[in-house]
Structure 1
Amino acid sequence: MTNNDLRRRRKEDQSSTSVEDKSKHSKKTFRQYIILFGILIILSVILFTIVNQLKIFFIHDETLDDKYYPSEILYLFRKHDRDNDNYLSIDEFEPIASQLGQKKVPTDYIQPILNTDQLITINAFFEPLNFSTITKDFRHTYFTNLDELQSLKLWKQPYVSRLNFAARHFKSFLPKQRIEIGKPYWIIEGNKQQFAEHLPSNRYYPPDVSHEHIIFHRLLSMFHPRPFIFTRFPAQGTVAVVRARHGSLLDIYFRIHAEFQLNTPPYHPFWYTPGLFQGRLIIRDDASDLTYFQMYVPNDKRLNVDMEWLVERGGSSASLEVDIGYMPRMELRSAAPSINMNETGITPEQLITSMNESLYDSLLKSFNTIDENFKNEKEIYDLLEKKFYPFKEVPYYEYRQAFKKAEETNKLVHTVVLWVLESSAVLNLLRENYISTWALVVDLKAIMTNQSNDAIKDSQRAKHALDNYAFPVESMIQQIDGTVISKINANDLLETYSKAEQFLNVVSNGMDITVQRYVHFLEQALDRQK
């Protein structure tokens, strides 16, 4: 074999080996592609499954809900899911939980009117809150799609403008015991414990009332369908006094503390608390007929209604808001004296035409005789006020009058007070050493802005008081020129007791520590005056 033949064979062997290698490589690459393609398919299936699960987990699928849950359940859930995240937070669940043990709807009380009854028509008058008198900006709804103030904004007229009653329905206004002229009596008695726990605020519907208190619920329901005849905080209840007797007719004055819940779920509760209701009725001693009835929120002050509500501010929970404002009119008044249904043939559904105002006023004047118990209406209402606020046994003067009285008696001025003043120890100190007054911030600001020559002293005194004021309530002792020589804030007065104070409470005949602090505050001012 020649060299050429050897070279040719070597080339053929090399060529054969190269073809085999290429064939093997192609088969290996094909298998890799198949494996890779299979992996991609598997990963796609896994990813598709994960995405669908995430959609179910995070995205509200109404079709799926509608398939598996009744529409009533879905409606209730979505109603309380305030941020639409498909979950109920603790704040969203709280209104539901609070209702589980409560009433679900307000009770509609019915007092029948019989053919033998004396019929009387009550008219309701209502002018809504003046929004310019409040400090909060009610134009915004903060971070939620629910406007907690919507019910307040929409409340522009009485719930029921005219309603018929039987005269006998007002029997609850009469004294339960024997009739004593000039002696106040409880109709709905408030909590006697000075530091008793307040009633819960997370409520929407009033509790059921006893039969004898239905009339108060129905009267207040003419303004709004959810009245609470017993307020969450003192002052609480209803008190009355017989001013005079005219034969079998009794002239009764009364004072009521009540409040209204304006919201329903899913909104947070919104409490609307007028300063007070006061009024008068002239009724026969057996409640067989009613000559006159009036009940109203006094509007002679700059502010006359408190409000409390919760708002969402984008955080994990709601925050409490409070404010105070002015409401021009909230009044109930009888259209005319009650009439006998048998004699007139009138039906319970027919409303009595309102009597001419001048004639009605003339009729009332015949009952306005001066008696030995009261010189005027103010003395009557002052007497009722003391029933709610025992500390009012010490006279409280208008701010400017208090300083005039202090100049005459050479005493310090005790400005702004709290409920703790019911203590006899505090009352004795105030009665013997101080002239007392109380004022709202808005009143002091009005006094301060008057810079006329005859009012400059009062203006300076008011400025001293405002400079020393801190939210929510500040009690202070002022000298005649207005200088504040001692003060104590409600937060400091009610803060947690120190161990030293707890010990002092044991050795001071059990006198409440809060009272001890107030006594110390008053005595400290007397020492500084010396």
Structure 2
Amino acid sequence: MNNSASLEVHAHWDPIADATYNLHKDSPENIVLFDLSPNEPVREYKGNAFNAFLPASTVAVGDVWELDMDSVIPFLSQFHLGATGKLRHGQKGAFACLRALSPDYADITFRIHAEFTLATRPNPDWKPGSDRRRQVDLARFIPSQYAGRLLINLKTGVICDFSLALPPRNSNVDINDFEYADMVFVPRMELLATPTQTSDDIKWKDVITPEAARRRLELKFYKFAEIDWLPLEDAVKKAEATQRPIHAVLTWGPLVDESC
């Protein structure tokens, strides 16, 4: 990337708007702990910072590659310095997909699984030389995922557009405190640059839809996403037609993210 060009990125982080158990406000301590806002509302990134989202070798449209979490986490630290890719549970990692390509531009879609350690405390069972952690998590903020996009001018090496956001659906975050947990809704948590170029007027040579790119990323995290899930009514009809049993799964939230 062109390191002489920089990009200003704004961070937006709305308060918790809804919750199952209202853990975030069940004590004065938790009210303070979960009253969250961006660590840096505005940050300027040099061009080479965005190398974190680029492939190590040549790829074709539709190809997926793994991202180095150590290079990605500095972006999430704009939200909170407790950003980490070391999830306690669930599917870790980050992947990107080349969604569209022209002679002059490349459009990359990416997905990140990360969380935030809001506070820690000393581990009473820790001893020098032991394999126990010296600090244990006191409180954590666990987003369902971060979905993002990068638009690059291949001729100049300049980043034209960048965004990274928590999908704005209900129950999109887990919060943990003193081993208690809650599912909450955060309407907006986003890193957003002011674009210098949009993809609307770009004539792509090769392209897949945003939905297809997101699907390829989803499959990198969850093998079971290959299952052809059916609504109950359709499953009943298919079971009757094929004389096969129904395997029903009841979940409290989506299966294909880290929110529950």
Q: TM-score, length-normalised on structure 1? A: 0.41
**CA contact 1:307–1:323 (8 Å) conserved in 2:** yes
Q: Specify the structure having the higher radius of gyration (Cα).
A: 1
Whole-angstrom distance in 2 between the partners of 1:263 and 1:118: 36
Whole-angstrom distance in 2 between the partners of 1:441 and 1:241: 26
Whole-angstrom distance in 2 between the partners of 1:441 and 1:249: 37
Whole-angstrom distance in 1 between the partners of 2:91 and 2:51: 24
**CA contact 2:239–2:246 (8 Å) conserved in 1:** no
Q: Identify if the C-alpha distance between structure 1 residues 169 and 390 changes in structure 2 by more than 3 Å, giving closer, same or farther.
A: same
Match of 1:395 in 2: 228
**CA contact 1:148–1:268 (8 Å) conserved in 2:** no
Match of 1:461 in 2: none
Show the 5 A alignment for 1:75-90: none
Matched, 1:160 2:40: yes
Match of 1:23 in 2: none
**CA contact 1:171–1:286 (8 Å) conserved in 2:** no
Q: Identify if the C-alpha distance between structure 1 residues 413 and 440 changes in structure 2 by more than 3 Å, giving closer, same or farther.
A: farther
Moved more, 258-267 or 385-394: 258-267
Cα drift, residue 139 of structure 1: 4.2
**SS at 1:294's partner residue?**
strand
Match of 1:222 in 2: 78
Residue 332 of structure 1: which of 178, 191, 199 is its match? Answer: 191
C-alpha deviations, 1:356-381, integer Å up to 9, x for none? xxxx6xx232248595x63x322221
Cα drift, residue 404 of structure 1: 3.5
Moved more, 263-272 or 216-225: 263-272
Show the 5 A alignment for 1:144-159: 147-148=29-30, 150-152=32-34, 154-155=35-36, 157-159=37-39
**CA contact 1:117–1:168 (8 Å) conserved in 2:** no
Matched, 1:303 2:174: no
Instruction: Write the letter of the residue equivalent to 1:182.
Output: G
Match of 2:130 in 1: none
The answer for unaligned runs of 5 or more in structure 1 is 1-113, 190-208, 311-319, 338-359, 417-437, 443-472, 474-530
Show the 5 A alignment for 1:253-264: 253-264=109-120
Cα drift, residue 441 of structure 1: 6.6
Show the 5 A alignment for 1:199-348: 209=70, 213=71, 216-265=72-121, 269-285=138-154, 288-300=157-169, 302-310=170-178, 320-337=179-196
Show the 5 A alignment for 1:132-211: 132-141=18-27, 147-148=29-30, 150-152=32-34, 154-155=35-36, 157-188=37-68, 209=70
**CA contact 2:10–2:191 (8 Å) conserved in 1:** yes
Residue 199 of structure 2: which of 348, 364, 369 is its match? Answer: 364
**SS at 1:269's partner residue?**
strand
Whole-angstrom distance in 1 between the partners of 2:140 and 2:116: 6
Whole-angstrom distance in 2 between the partners of 1:366 and 1:223: 32
Matched, 1:409 2:245: no
Q: Identify if the C-alpha distance between structure 1 residues 293 and 413 changes in structure 2 by more than 3 Å, giving closer, same or farther.
A: farther
**SS at 1:244's partner residue?**
strand
Q: Identify if the C-alpha distance between structure 1 residues 368 and 262 changes in structure 2 by more than 3 Å, giving closer, same or farther.
A: farther
- Identify, as 1 or 2, the structure richer in helix: 1
Whole-angstrom distance in 1 between the partners of 2:253 and 2:85: 29
Instruction: Write the letter of the residue equivalent to 1:364.
Output: S
Cα drift, residue 282 of structure 1: 0.9
**SS at 1:410's partner residue?**
helix
Q: TM-score, length-normalised on structure 2? A: 0.80
Show the 5 A alignment for 1:24-173: 117-130=4-17, 132-141=18-27, 147-148=29-30, 150-152=32-34, 154-155=35-36, 157-173=37-53
Q: Identify if the C-alpha distance between structure 1 residues 286 and 228 changes in structure 2 by more than 3 Å, giving closer, same or farther.
A: farther
C-alpha deviations, 1:123-168, integer Å up to 9, x for none? 11111112x4221455443xxxx8255311x31x211111111222
Whole-angstrom distance in 2 between the partners of 1:126 and 1:136: 18
Whole-angstrom distance in 2 between the partners of 1:410 and 1:370: 44
Aligned residue pair count = 238
Whole-angstrom distance in 1 between the partners of 2:155 and 2:205: 24
Cα drift, residue 245 of structure 1: 0.8
Instruction: Write the letter of the residue equivalent to 2:151.
Output: I
**CA contact 1:185–1:239 (8 Å) conserved in 2:** yes
Cα drift, residue 289 of structure 1: 0.6
**CA contact 1:167–1:290 (8 Å) conserved in 2:** yes
Whole-angstrom distance in 2 between the partners of 1:391 and 1:441: 16
Q: Identify if the C-alpha distance between structure 1 residues 218 and 391 changes in structure 2 by more than 3 Å, giving closer, same or farther.
A: same
The answer for unaligned runs of 5 or more in structure 2 is 123-135, 255-259
Structure with the bigger RCO (C-alpha within 8 Å, sep 6+) is 2
Whole-angstrom distance in 2 between the partners of 1:162 and 1:278: 19
